[in-house]
Structure 1
Amino acid sequence: MQQCGIRIYNSHSHIRTRGSFMTSTSGFTGSFLRRPARRVALTAAALLLASVVGACGSGDGSAGDDSTLTVGFRYGFASFDPLANPAFTADFLLPVYDTLIVRKGQDEFEPGLATGWDYDPAALTMTLTLRTGVEFSDGTPFDAEAVKANFERGMAEKAGPWTSVFATFDRVEVADDSQVVVHLKEPLPSIVSDLAFIPGMMVSPEALQDTDALKNEPVGSGPWVLDSDKVRPGDTYPFVRNDGYWDPDAEVVDTYVMKVIADRTAAGNALRAKQVDLIGSDGLQAVQLEKEGFPIGSTGSMVYVVDIADRAGEVVPALGDVRVRRAIGLALDRQALLDAVFGGYGSPSSTIFPEGSIGYSAEVDEGVTYDLELAKSLMREAGYEKGFTVKIFVMSTNENIAAAVAGSLAEIGIELEITPVPDAGTFAATVADKQSPILIVASGLRSPWEIHTAFGGATGRYNPFGITADGVDAAAEEVMALADPTGAEAAAGYGDLMEELILTNAFIQPIFTVYTPVAMQDGVDPELETQAQTLPDPRTTTKG
């Protein structure tokens, strides 16, 4: 395979050195060159960003002064209510909301609003010890009652991106002002990861009294507050310093501005014109921007998945036949799709998790390959040789991926009629309303349990029809019963769970993993960790 030049930042030495390497997450090989030291850290899962080595250009300079950081973001946005947001719009929430736990790397976690956490031996009770002396931006104290209010609100939600997490909560008990106890109906292996993300974002209990107002007026305990008077909905969201923030060292800039720039060409031009300091990018664009001299980093990776949501054939009867669902997976030429959409910068995979990691399944790796003739044979066997039509909704940012998938499925007679929607809220509504029998989504979920919860669980946010299978449920129960969620038994158990989801029942069909690059002006210095959001954490992104 031809090697490409890679710009990369090492999390230990902070120096880009010369040599060849292979990431543990993709099997992609490349080379990288020496660069002056910077404070940019990547964990192993996010170390790779493929790019072509070009001559240095005029990427220096910044947008505005050093007290303002302006970033461009691809996705539309509808609400500051955390529970209304899917994973890929978490970036809008980070400036104003703290999480109970903080993710630092693939599987590393640190205290946030919770300073400690532990479980009972059966993993059915989690006790959180809370940080004291913290207030929400409206002056309401953060305490155990506030956590209980947030959790109970999540438990009461009937639909939404995070109902599957809170469905596992049985009750929440306030032990004292700084300690809260979560009683679970069954073990939740992903609970620490969940509380380090949107389900762990704490909203002022006063603001929870008016969730309609919360859509436009967020009230959290984070480093910044929304400057509502200067918001241009769908375009610009400025955040100003929260003077009462409990950790002033995290307020690395006075003003943080998020601009929605859905068009990649427009985003690149905004960076060139120094209208923004940093943009979320993609592999093809990052190649060109690096040639022009802009520093490139990566916040992690996204897995793109074809999710057959209508698994019982409620809307499209053909999708209730496992042979048809398997045919869909076999008709996807993953390498060709990756080349067409992202210029090959990523890793084609039917397994989600790479060999050697928890969640990898050799059976899936060998059993879900590109085999167009077998796919056509399964369609004939199922009685759908002439094909059928499926109307689907996709995020506008995923429209090109959906079009490429549609081209592949047309080879076996399946026609996708694609309707793009502009923002995450609209897309989530179409999912919840069962308007899209097939979903094409980008997932930043990091663990096999999170994948199961989102796609395989009966209340999963990408399982709107609520269809699961005995084999999926049995594999999940075996995993929950494990004493050690990281050992050899867990690796085998999670592998079995992925096999049930992808191969046996063919509920989901992973396409490829792509890296999530960011391009920036010289002088912008983010600390890049493997994380679920697209942009670097504003708390650790300096400018000067």
Structure 2
Amino acid sequence: MPTRAYVGAAIAVVAAAAIALSGCAPAAQQTEQTTTLKLGLANAPQSFDPAQMGDAGNMLQYAQAVYDSLLHKAPDGTIEPWLATDWKYNDDNTELTLTLRDDVTFANGEKFTPEVAVANLEHFKAGGGPQGSMLAELESVAVGEGNTVVLKLSAPNPSLISYLTTVAGLQVSMEGLENPDLATVPSGSGPYKYDADGSTSGSVYSFEAREDYWNEDIVDFDTVEIRVLEDPAAVANAFASGQVDAVPASVETLAQFENTSAKIDTVEGDWSGFMMFDRTGQLAEPLGDVRVRQAFNYAIDRDQVLETVVRGYGTVTTQIFSPEDPGYVPELDDAYDYDPERAKELLAEAGYPDGFDVTMIVYSASPADTLAVYAQQLAEVGIRVTWETQDLNTFLVSMTTGKTGINPMQFGAKGGWEMINQLIAPNAPWNPLHDQTDELTALIEEVRTATDDAAQAEAVQKVNTYVVENAWFSPWFRVASPYATNPEKVSVEMQYQQTIPSLYNFSPAE
């Protein structure tokens, strides 16, 4: 099994363009350390229970404040020791032994031990949450010799080490695991402790630095404050007024940052397009025909969408894997040229010469002019769209619980097996209807059982080719996602394959 599961790929994906906006002021030399890190995110945490958390960047900063993970992912994607100081597989990659630190305490004073780690992994496995597939192959976990835990797997999991850097590896105190209110009352060993008195649920979340934290080198702020900014139009105003010093921006609202001190970094990798949740016609009968799904791909003028929707910040593509991923196939970037006549032919062949009606759910803050572009291009080939708006959390739940057959969205970049395990595999959280075919299942198994990097890359490329040819998705472009920081207050190092940096990547401006 490859040792890095693709996460150690070159950091070239992080453009870190540091776009110079007109009117930007130069960073001032600070005489005092910034004591409060003021962040903005698009939504509130759905839960502080790791077993019920999503893996999206909007969730990770909340989690990283209060929880430590077993392993750590550096900004360049390299996996490093954290609560686990070493890790080793057996010969057939079905048993993983983690050696743990013995000097870590939780915020409530409890000691971190192998028994606690076992309880957390069992809790996550049994939780049935949105990221439960991360530990799908985990058969058992037990305390091993010395200060170790041993994970036994039913089959190799090429991304297990990576998953232990994120929600599957987060560690809650035993008191927290036994607390029925864990969803709202976190209890971890992380660098900060949740300040309930200084927080307002759904609006502002405050975290105070722990004086007894085991890794004091990463605690650069006395307080972390995360403000929820669901309305994209409010983001620039919050930044300009000093309510936040670092926040994900949208391409549509970048102009609003021009008269602020913002430094804009970009990360290209996330893909935007139609997520086809229904490939068997369970919710939307036409989608069960591959010709209809291919028609969606031919119907979209990707160059126009790229310019109109994100002002050219990105690269046109028809595949979900990014160039830095070994599963990337260059020829698949233009597998579907814009060809509305071909789209109409395919619809007619599938039995829809007059097109059909389809309902898509969208986030309530989605720009109306953007939706109009999508609807217009589809209408030209006979696909008539009705939009159903939902708030962000409802929108996310609908997509992962089989409530929608197709809708536009932006999905985070993942490497190789992680992309497969998140979007494609039968038990993937973003494959809620469990679509599968015998051919694809066999290709996925080739990825799982690959014994070296070259073999795994070849296997992922086969999966990639299959899902493109069978139109499992309709990608339009890889977006260059902007992230705004106030260089007078904070510095940040962007994270490989994340549009929102990890909490550990921030430091006070010098």
> What is the TM-score of this pair, normalised by structure 2?
0.90
- Checking the alignment, whether the CA contact within 8 Å between 1:51 and 1:287 is kept in structure 2 is no
- Aligned pairs for 1:191-270 (under 5 A) are 191-211=160-180, 213-270=181-238
| SS, match of residue 72 in structure 2 | strand
Shift, 1:380, TM fit: 0.6
- Aligned pairs for 1:247-396 (under 5 A) are 247-286=215-254, 289=257, 292-298=260-266, 301-355=269-323, 357-362=325-330, 364-396=332-364
| SS, match of residue 497 in structure 1 | helix
Inter-CA distance 355–81: structure 2 relative to 1 (3 Å threshold):
closer
Shift, 1:402, TM fit: 5.2
Distance 2:29 2:376 in 1: 42
- Checking the alignment, whether the CA contact within 8 Å between 2:209 and 2:223 is kept in structure 1 is yes
Inter-CA distance 80–173: structure 2 relative to 1 (3 Å threshold):
same
Shift, 1:126, TM fit: 1.3
| SS, match of residue 88 in structure 2 | strand
1:96 aligns with 2:52: no
Inter-CA distance 153–408: structure 2 relative to 1 (3 Å threshold):
farther
- Aligned pairs for 1:109-124 (under 5 A) are 109-124=79-94
Inter-CA distance 536–355: structure 2 relative to 1 (3 Å threshold):
closer
- Checking the alignment, whether the CA contact within 8 Å between 2:72 and 2:165 is kept in structure 1 is yes
Inter-CA distance 403–532: structure 2 relative to 1 (3 Å threshold):
farther
- Checking the alignment, whether the CA contact within 8 Å between 2:299 and 2:340 is kept in structure 1 is yes
Aligned with residue 130 of structure 1, among 94, 100, 110: 100
| SS, match of residue 297 in structure 1 | strand
Inter-CA distance 121–382: structure 2 relative to 1 (3 Å threshold):
same
Cross-structure match for 1:526: 491
- Checking the alignment, whether the CA contact within 8 Å between 2:75 and 2:505 is kept in structure 1 is no
Cα displacement string for residues 341-395 of structure 1 (whole angstroms, at most 9, x for unaligned residues)? 2111111211233457411124533423322211111111001122223333333
- Checking the alignment, whether the CA contact within 8 Å between 1:524 and 1:541 is kept in structure 2 is no
Cross-structure match for 1:11: none
Shift, 1:137, TM fit: 1.7
Query: For structure 1, which segment, 447-456 or 131-140, has the greater mean C-alpha deviation from structure 2 after superposition?
Result: 131-140
What is the aligned length?
A: 497
- Checking the alignment, whether the CA contact within 8 Å between 1:239 and 1:256 is kept in structure 2 is yes
Cα displacement string for residues 103-122 of structure 1 (whole angstroms, at most 9, x for unaligned residues)? 11444111111111111121
Could you tell me which amino acid in structure 2 is paired with residue 127 of structure 1?
Answer: T
Aligned with residue 383 of structure 2, among 414, 425, 436: 414
- Checking the alignment, whether the CA contact within 8 Å between 2:137 and 2:154 is kept in structure 1 is yes
Shift, 1:48, TM fit: 4.5
- Aligned pairs for 1:498-513 (under 5 A) are 498-503=464-469, 505-513=470-478
Shift, 1:52, TM fit: 6.3
The CA RMSD over aligned residues, in Å, is 2.7
Inter-CA distance 203–428: structure 2 relative to 1 (3 Å threshold):
farther
1:465 aligns with 2:430: no
Cα displacement string for residues 269-302 of structure 1 (whole angstroms, at most 9, x for unaligned residues)? 2222222222211335446535644222246642
1:492 aligns with 2:455: no
Could you tell me which amino acid in structure 1 is paired with residue 468 of structure 2?
Answer: I
Inter-CA distance 539–324: structure 2 relative to 1 (3 Å threshold):
same
Could you tell me which amino acid in structure 2 is paired with residue 537 of structure 1?
Answer: S
Cross-structure match for 2:504: 539
Distance 1:157 1:130 in 2: 23
Distance 2:385 2:147 in 1: 52
Distance 1:297 1:432 in 2: 30
- Checking the alignment, whether the CA contact within 8 Å between 2:295 and 2:347 is kept in structure 1 is yes
| SS, match of residue 307 in structure 1 | strand
Shift, 1:260, TM fit: 1.0
Cross-structure match for 2:123: 153
| Structure 2 unmatched ranges of 5 or more | 1-8
- Checking the alignment, whether the CA contact within 8 Å between 2:65 and 2:193 is kept in structure 1 is yes
Shift, 1:184, TM fit: 1.5
Cross-structure match for 1:19: none
Inter-CA distance 431–377: structure 2 relative to 1 (3 Å threshold):
same
Distance 2:95 2:386 in 1: 46
Inter-CA distance 385–271: structure 2 relative to 1 (3 Å threshold):
same
| SS, match of residue 270 in structure 2 | strand
Query: For structure 1, which segment, 163-172 or 278-287, has the greater mean C-alpha deviation from structure 2 after superposition?
Result: 278-287
Distance 1:177 1:216 in 2: 34
Shift, 1:318, TM fit: 0.9
Aligned with residue 445 of structure 2, among 457, 466, 477: 477
Shift, 1:238, TM fit: 0.7
Distance 1:526 1:209 in 2: 38
Inter-CA distance 255–356: structure 2 relative to 1 (3 Å threshold):
closer
1:166 aligns with 2:135: yes
Distance 2:243 2:496 in 1: 26
Distance 2:214 2:72 in 1: 15
| SS, match of residue 441 in structure 1 | strand
1:515 aligns with 2:480: yes
Query: For structure 1, which segment, 394-403 or 277-286, has the greater mean C-alpha deviation from structure 2 after superposition?
Result: 394-403
Cross-structure match for 1:454: 422
Distance 2:431 2:367 in 1: 21
Shift, 1:308, TM fit: 1.3
Quote the sequence identity (%). Answer: 31
| SS, match of residue 133 in structure 2 | helix
Distance 1:448 1:125 in 2: 21
Inter-CA distance 357–435: structure 2 relative to 1 (3 Å threshold):
closer
- Checking the alignment, whether the CA contact within 8 Å between 1:387 and 1:415 is kept in structure 2 is yes
- Checking the alignment, whether the CA contact within 8 Å between 2:316 and 2:333 is kept in structure 1 is no
1:179 aligns with 2:148: yes
- Checking the alignment, whether the CA contact within 8 Å between 2:422 and 2:430 is kept in structure 1 is yes
- Checking the alignment, whether the CA contact within 8 Å between 1:59 and 1:294 is kept in structure 2 is no
Distance 1:526 1:220 in 2: 26
Shift, 1:459, TM fit: 1.1
Shift, 1:162, TM fit: 0.9
